[in-house]
Amino acid sequence: MSDQKEIDRIQAIRKQQIEARDPSKKDYQTQKIITKKYKRIRGNQNFFIDGWKSLSKAWKGFLIGGFIGLIINIILPGFVSGTGGVLLGIAAIILCMALGMALGGTFDWRDNLRDNLDR
């Protein structure tokens, strides 16, 4: 009986030694450490958030205005019957996009003025 316990103990020790020498495990741990450091240095990045931040305020206003116009286009035909509701909805999309772009353009212009005055 004691021989079986000794064999099991030796097999467990051997298994631990093999796992400790496993190069794939060490590579995985090294890669994990490198990835952590790289993410900490670079910061978390999100494609959509970075893309939105890179847009000028004029284009942001254009997109937001288009979204508001689309909502109006969905709701308006419920209040105005016939093709008039659809045409008014399309006009609302175009108007909201134009207003959004104009408003965003003024914010861009204001920021440019502030940057030039700071020099």
Close Cβ partners of 41 (under 8 Å, ≥ 6 residues apart): none
Q: How confident is the model at residue 1 (pLDDT cuts 50, 70, 90)?
A: low
Q: Are residues 64 and 37 in the same domain?
A: no
CB 65 within 8 A of CB 100: yes
pLDDT at 98: 96
Measured distance CA(77)–CA(28) in Å, rounded: 59
pLDDT tens digits, 31-46: 888 888 887 777 767 7
Q: Are residues 80 and 107 in the same domain?
A: yes
Question: What are the DSSP calls for 29-92, one per residue?
Answer: HHHHHHHHHHHHHH----HHHHHHHHS-HHHHHHHHHHHHHHHHHHHGGGTS-SHHHHHHHHHH
Q: Are residues 38 and 76 in the same domain?
A: no
Mean pLDDT of 8-12: 89
- The HSE-up count of residue 10 (CA atoms within 13 Å, CB side) is 6
pLDDT at 97: 96
Predicted TM-score (pTM) of this structure = 0.60
Q: How many domains does the chain have?
A: 2
Of 20 and 87, the structure prediction assigns the larger pLDDT to: 87
Measured distance CA(65)–CA(92) in Å, rounded: 9
Q: Are residues 72 and 113 in the same domain?
A: yes
Q: Which domain holds residue 25?
A: 2-42
